[in-house]
Amino acid sequence: DVKVTQSSRYLVKRTGEKVFLECVQDMDHENMFWYRQDPGLGLRLIYFSYDVKMKEKGDIPEGYSVSREKKERFSLILESASTNQTSMYLCASWGGRVLTSPLHFGNGTRLTVT
Amino acid sequence: AQSVTQLDSHVSVSEGTPVLLRCNYSSSYSPSLFWYVQHPNKGLQLLLKYTSAATLVKGINGFEAEFKKSETSFHLTKPSAHMSDAAEYFCVVSDQGSGNTGKLIFGQGTTLQVKP
C-alpha cells in the first residue's frame, strides 16, 4: 500500500513565523499535491508538483511556496504565517496513468497560527 | 469548467436506516467521478470511483453510487447505516481540463452523523 506521511500532526506557530510542512511518499509517485481543508469549503489545491523541481500553482497559492528537491518529498512553506492560514493541510500523491487512478492522502497537519 | 456540488452539508440518520448523500456535477467532458471518505483525524480514503464501465458502482463498506448522465448526478447510497460510517464524505471530479495530472476538484463535503 502507498504510504504518505506528513511529519507533524499538529503545529502551533506565531504570526510572521516561517513554517515548513513536510510530506513524504514511498511509492515513487511523480505527482504530489498540497491541499488546504476548511469547513464548508472542501479541499482547495494550493500547489502541485509533477516532477522533481517542477511545480504548478493551484487555486489558492498566495502566501505559500513549495519545494521538491527529491521525488519522495514535497514541502509546503508558509513564508510569513498569518492567522488566516490556520487550517488543516493535506498532502497527496498520484502515480496513475489514467484519470481514474486515486490520490493517496496523508493524515493531515492541523496548523494553528496565533 | 468542471465542478461538483454536494447538496447537503450535513446528513443525520439512525443506525440501520438507509443513507443518501447527494452530488451533482458539471463537466464538458465525460467525467471521472469519485467519492472519498474522511474519518475524524484521518486523511481521505477512496470509497469508490466511476470508470464508465458501469453506471452503478460498488465501493467499500457497502456503499454504492449511481452515475446518471441525464441528471448529472452521482449520489452515494448505503442500505443500512453503521455507527462507523460517521465521517465526512467528498464527491470529487477529475480536473480533465489540466490534462492527465491527477488534479481533483472537490465538493464542499457532507458530514454524516449516525445516531444509535
CATH topology assigned to domain A4-95+104-113: Immunoglobulin-like (2.60.40)
Nearest CB to A42; choose among B42, B49, B107? B107
pLDDT in tens, B11-56: 999 999 999 999 999 987 778 899 999 998 888 999 999 977 788 9
Tell me the average pLDDT across B102-108: 87
Give residue A78's pLDDT: 97
Whether residue A96 has pLDDT greater than 90 = no
CB B68 within 8 A of CB B56: no
Whether residue A12 has pLDDT greater than 90 = yes
Question: A86 falls in which pLDDT band (50, 70, 90)?
Answer: very high
Kindly give, in sequence order, each residue whose CB lies less than 8 Å from that of residue A42, ignoring residues fewer than 6 positions away: B90, B106, B107, B108, B109
pLDDT in tens, A18-54: 999 999 999 888 899 999 999 888 899 999 999 898 9
Q: Find chain B residues with C-beta within 8 A of A102's C-beta.
A: 34, 46, 49
Where exactly are the structural domains of chain A?
Answer: 4-95+104-113
pLDDT in tens, B65-98: 999 999 999 999 999 999 999 999 999 988 776 6
Domain around B22: 3-115
| Interatomic CA distance for residues B23 and B91, integer angstroms | 6
> Higher-confidence residue: A64 or A41?
A64
Amino acid at B110: T
> Higher-confidence residue: A27 or A113?
A113
Smallest CA–CA distance from B51 into chain A, residue: A100
Pairing relation of β-strands A109-113 and A10-13? parallel
In angstroms, the separation between the Cα of residue A74 and the nearest Cα of chain B is: 16
Could you tell me if residue B15 is left (phi over 0), alpha (psi between -120 and 50 degrees) or otherwise beta? beta
| Interatomic CA distance for residues A78 and A18, integer angstroms | 6
Q: What is the CATH number of the domain that holds B111?
A: 2.60.40.10
| Interatomic CA distance for residues B21 and B109, integer angstroms | 10
Nearest CB to B102; choose among A4, A43, A101? A101
Q: How many domains does chain B have?
A: 1
Give residue A99's pLDDT: 65
Tell me the average pLDDT across A72-98: 93
Percent of chain A with pLDDT over 70: 96
* Interface A:B, Cβ pairs < 8 A: 63
Mean pLDDT score of chain A, rounded to an integer? 92
Kindly give, in sequence order, each residue whose CB lies less than 8 Å from that of residue A91, ignoring residues fewer than 6 positions away: A4, A6, A21, A23, A32, A33, A34, A35, A74, A76, A105, A106
Cell 500500500: give the residue: A1
CB A32 within 8 A of CB A70: no
| Interatomic CA distance for residues B20 and B76, integer angstroms | 6
Give residue A40's pLDDT: 86
Whether residue A2 has pLDDT greater than 70 = no
Kindly give, in sequence order, each residue whose CB lies less than 8 Å from that of residue B10, ignoring residues fewer than 6 positions away: B110, B111, B113
| Interatomic CA distance for residues B64 and B71, integer angstroms | 17
Q: Are A107 and B107 an interchain contact pair (Cβ–Cβ within 8 Å)?
A: no
